[in-house]
A and B are shown apart, each in its own frame.
Chain A
Amino acid sequence: MTKILLVEDNEMNRDMLSRRLLRRGYEVIMAMDGQMGLEMAQSESPDIVLMDMSLPILDGWEATRCLKAGAETKAIPVIALTAHAMSSDREKALEAGCDDYDTKPIELTRLLAKIELLTGAKQS
């Protein structure tokens, strides 16, 4: 089963997206800020990280830079999730080391296609 680490500070976003992913057969673990996300990526070895970028303590860009600089975590794919639709946000996320980028509100079919592409795993 593909394990997804969802790093998101908004409680309703976490609840809603985790429920939708669980229904698709994914295992979902969650962190509420960038620092917690970084620690969980190290301790839980997820198959992929869904990273909100506007996060407290350590923002998503910095957390992704740290993930991609760590020997144990650099191979974990990261998809940036932001509420903005500006092309500069996409560039900024990719520069931080994110493997892909998606905007909120989440279109689940589009996000699942990106998850499957980056993990090589298709869930039910």
Chain B
Amino acid sequence: MTELPPHIQEKVQHALPSDLIHDLRTPLGHILGYAELLKEQAEEAGDSQYQPFIHKIQFAAEQLLGMLNENFRATKRT
């Protein structure tokens, strides 16, 4: 999981509504899933030109997921 920068770590300690976390995780799952599909298909096609961009999409989505998970954990809803 992507480590969060300290200034973001502090911000995510404030509780978000759990239904909002749920609503945000769903489209985030779509982004991560389709990015993984793209990555696999680009690899199979031997196409390396898009790999750096796919990696950036995955990194950004995982960072966002990390913030949501940390907010969930920090506000003791697990």
The judgment on whether A and B are partners is: yes
Q: Do residues A105 and B28 form an inter-chain contact, with CB atoms below 8 A?
A: yes
Known: A16-B34, A20-B37. A85 touches B29 (CB 8 A): no
Task: Classify the interface of chain B: helix, strand, loop or mixed.
Answer: helix
> Please, how many angstroms separate the alpha-carbon atoms of A13 and B30 in the complex?
7
State how many angstroms separate the Cβ of A28 from the closest Cβ of chain B.
14
Residues of B within 8 A of A12 (CB): 27, 30
Given A105-B29, A105-B65, A106-B33, 16 extra CB contacts under 8 A: A13-B26, A16-B29, A16-B30, A16-B34, A16-B37, A17-B33, A19-B37, A20-B36, A83-B29, A85-B69, A87-B78, A104-B26, A105-B25, A105-B32, A105-B33, A106-B29
> Please, how many angstroms separate the alpha-carbon atoms of A28 and B64 in the complex?
30
What size tier do the contact residues of chain A reach?
Answer: 10 to 19
Known: A104-B25, A104-B26, A104-B29. A85 touches B36 (CB 8 A): no
State how many angstroms separate the Cβ of A111 from the closest Cβ of chain B.
11
Known: A12-B30, A104-B25. A86 touches B78 (CB 8 A): yes
Interface residues of A in 73-109 (CB under 8 A from B): 83-87, 104-106, 108
**Interface check B22, CB cutoff 8 A:** yes
